[in-house]
A and B are shown apart, each in its own frame.
Chain A
Amino acid sequence: MTETTVSMTLNGTRIEGRVEARTHLADFLRSRGDLPSVRVSCEYGVCGCCSVVLDGKVVRGCLTLAVQAQDRDVRTLEGSTAETEDLRSAFVERNALQCGYCTPAMLLTAHELLQTKPDATREEIRDGLSGNYCRCTGYHAIVDAVAATAERRKGGVDR
């Protein structure tokens, strides 16, 4: 397969890489070896495990070709730690993760959800996360953690 050069801003740093046209973004990011938060699971765009942030929007890393990220801004959980820290610690406190495989993508999606819907109800949180599969928790604790973070972000409740 012929390779091409792709360049993007990855977690705030300009990077360049050689990829085949068919290489999806998640595989490209995984091949760098320094972004363990990027994972694949169904590779069909269903489970959401591979989610990353492209120009500020959460996208499926397995349905986005690496070349589609040309000259765009890509963020993984590693580059989003500051804005997701309260959410992350709420996940730990509430045991809203078990094996952790879905967690990075879940955090990115939940963060995006709370930015667009800071007052999300439990039902809206459930709808908003429905494209991110978790096989361990049954989601209840995840919904709790996201709802608690929403409350805190509104400044209502002290930890």
Chain B
Amino acid sequence: MSADETRAFARLQMTHIGRPLPRPNAERLSRGAARYTPDIDLPGLLHVAFLRSPHAHARILAIDPSAALARDGVVAVVTGDDLARIARPFEAKLDHLPKLKAPKQYPMAVGIARHQGEAVAAVVASSRAVAEDALDHVIVEWEDLPAVADPEEALAPEAPRVHEDLPDNLAFVSEIRQGDHAGAEAATALSLERDFSFARHTGVPLEPRAIVASFDPVEERLTVHQSTQTPFQTQAAIAAMYGLGDSDIRVIAPDVGGSFGIKLHTYADEMAVCGIALLLKKPVKFVSDRLESFVSDIHARGQSVAARMDLDAEGTVLAMRVDALSGIGPWSVYPRTSVLEGSQVLTLTGSPYGLKAYSGRLRLAFQNKAPMGAYRAVGHPIAMALSEVLIESAARRLGIDAVEIRRRNLLPDDAYPFRTLTGLHFEGLSHHRCLDRLVEMMDYPRLRAEQAELRKRGIFRGIGLAAVIELTNPGPALYSVGNVRVSAQDGCTIKLESDGRVTCAISITDQGQGNLAAIGQIVADVAGLKQGDVRIVMGDTAQVPYGGGTYGSRGAGVGGEAALRAAAAFRENILRIAAALLQTEPDDLDIREGMVGAKGSSEGRVDLRKIADIAYFKPDQLPKDLQPLLSASGHFTQLTDTFVFTNGFQASHLELDVETGIVRLLEHWAVEDCGRIINPMLVDEQMRGGIAQGIGAALYEECLYDENGQLVNGSLVDYLTPSSATLPDIRVAHVETPTRTSTLGAKGAGEAGTAGAPAAVFNAINDAMSPFDAEIFTMPATPERILRALGRIG
């Protein structure tokens, strides 16, 4: 976008951008009228139920489908071998990380099942109940193999191998060492090293994974309805696996009932559903149930990290070292791999502070558990917890207040641009302003005074803070150099309809965060329309321009910029037609609330309906040399930087019952800086929802496996998530530092809440336990773990 356009945007009368307008699609969603993938029905639709491996690791000696096939309503039983005949296996590689091992993965197990829950065979039947009933009649002969569950044991020389054709279970290793280690060491007065542990947990979208695939043998076209954030990525994955052209596949994401990253991966079982549709040439549907979700949705975090922070006597953070180990399941998840969680821990840890020295190691191990992938705030909650929990632990030892030690260490707000030792480039952050705002909002001095008073009465409250950095608006660097077909580009096309209204088709998607509303607000302001006259189309590869979709907090920032550019071009097109009609120059005209007329005048304005009427039905009224352009497109890839960083601060206030170990959350605060705010209500609720998931990680959520790789808590009875009764009110405030990497200036806001909340809650727990000289470094902080930390139980 030219400097002129940037100036034009700065001068724009904003009547939508920046305002807390309700979401247009909330009307439909709130009436219960949404259509999610499980609601999709097609003529002749068949239903798929998967036979999943009950073993973490076992050889499949034989599969006998005959009894199942004999049952009424059963149409077919499809095995892993059947699909292997038509499928090219995935290998989740990144070309720039040749050390990452990428074993082949088929849509269903071939020969060996490598985690409990891996699909082994599929029953296709007239109804889901008939298909599920028939699963009991598919007889599989198993040979149990030793399961590799614990990542440390997986890396032992004598460990059984997850993949027979690989020399060991080490999937990936990476090391980094930067800065002046000798200098840092010489100045170190306090060195804290702690073993952190972050449980495996998962996203639990309330709408489970679901897919409907239907093949048209005449057109040779596959149509897929899928609960996904990234329809074009699914298109590319199906094309790669089954040898179709991208554009032979139409992927439609209807309403999506929550995703949080869970629904941006390519799941083998969903690829199996597409393969079954191709084999049978019949429409087929699969909807995961909750147990299947727990054993086959990607899991995340699951890391043990030895972390060290070195400080001088004044509390200046000098150096950090991390050594992280994670089990990633049997494969690196296609197509984005399972490296990012760990690699982002390696690059983000300690980044709010100007470290003198940094070193880190990451090891990823194959194991016989569900695959690990990207869940909201990939890597961030771990990275933030390592630096933030250690800095408050150090502050207590040095007798420095938690706010004060941040003020001494945070990069000054005028220090930017800044490049961290790990190579992250910060364009402009506002940590000090955010901290000041936070301290004011929570009335920090009063809370501290109250805490001291209550302690005298045996009431133990804790206050914990966390600085947050979030990487958003990713550029193409990773997947381009990695040679992976994940697009960092987004596209938007705006067209004038014959009734004078406007349709805007855009490649980003909406799972409730409000992308649809935000795009409507941008288009309305930039093109000069009323938001109600702009209809947004998303989530259909046949209707929208190509683009990445929703991941990495990029919808508003990258998709929004594409929309801005399309809207600016659309406005120019309309003004050209209007100028011809009004016999003036486009520069003398503007569009306001859908009416075109002379700048600064409300006289003689014409509406877009009139423009459409002339352009479509009476173009002979226009000059003969004008062939009007009635649609316009805009595309955008963030090319300035690898990522655009946001920052913020969070704080947690809680009360700890030291007899029971139960934490009662009292209040939570967040100040965030996501650049230009398109709709503050949407940003607030992204923060709150993200914080809720971060609190879940801190206190409740854990996929519990036994030593044989069996998940033992695969239901919402046994897997705890935060509820309305356990969560506190969450106060949100904003600081706005627009990014200069786009005209719009918006950064992402979807993940910062999840990134920072676990650290804030852990600091508050450790603060509450400080009279007992106890600290905890294992997430989630269950009552049992807290009582152990307090030494009340053995």
The chain A residues found within 8 Å of chain B, CB to CB, are 1, 20, 33, 36-37, 39, 41-44, 46-47, 49, 76-78, 81, 88, 91-93, 95, 97-104, 107, 122, 125-127, 129-130, 132-143
Contacts and interface: CB of A to CB of B under 8 A. Distances in A.
A41 B206 contact: yes
22 contacts: A33-B41, A36-B35, A37-B32, A41-B206, A47-B716, A91-B26, A91-B30, A97-B30, A99-B259, A99-B512, A101-B257, A102-B206, A104-B32, A126-B727, A133-B206, A135-B260, A137-B685, A138-B688, A140-B727, A140-B730, A141-B685, A143-B724
Contact of A36 (B33, B690, B729): B33
Contacts of A95: 20, 22-23, 26, 514, 681-682, 684-685
A33 to B, nearest CB: 7
A36 B34 contact: yes
A91 B26 CA distance: 9
Contacts of A92: 22-23, 26-27, 30
B29 A97 contact: yes
A136 B512 contact: yes
B682 A139 contact: no
A158 to B, nearest CB: 18
A93 B22 contact: yes
B95 interface: no
The 6 closest A-B pairs by CB, nearest first: A37-B32, A100-B29, A98-B512, A101-B257, A99-B512, A138-B692
B750 to A, nearest CB: 11
Given A43-B290, A95-B22, A100 B34 contact: yes
Interface residues of B, number: 58
B716 A135 contact: no
Contacts, number: 164
Contacts of B689: 98, 135-138
B736 interface: no
B258 A39 contact: no
Interface in B624-672: none
Contacts of B257: 39, 99-101
B446 to A, nearest CB: 21
Contacts of A139: 692, 723-724, 727
A130 B725 contact: yes
A108 to B, nearest CB: 10
B310 interface: no
A129 B38 CA distance: 25
Contacts of B684: 95
With most chain A CB atoms within 10 A of its CB, the pick from B29, B206, B716, B729 is: B206
Contacts of A142: 724
Pick the most buried of A20, A36, A102: most chain B CB atoms within 10 A of its CB.
Answer: A36
Contacts of B512: 97-100, 136
B783 interface: no
Nearest to A146: B724
A36 B34 CA distance: 7
B730 A135 contact: no
Nearest to A41: B206
Nearest to A137: B689
Contacts of A93: 22
A77 B31 CA distance: 8
Given A97-B29, A135-B258, A49 B206 contact: yes
Nearest to B258: A99
Contacts of A77: 31-32
B726 to A, nearest CB: 8
Contacts of A130: 723-726
Contacts of B723: 130, 133, 139
B208 interface: yes
Interface string B256-272: 11111000000000000
Given A39-B36, A130-B724, A143-B724, 5 more contacts: A39-B38, A95-B681, A99-B259, A133-B206, A134-B206
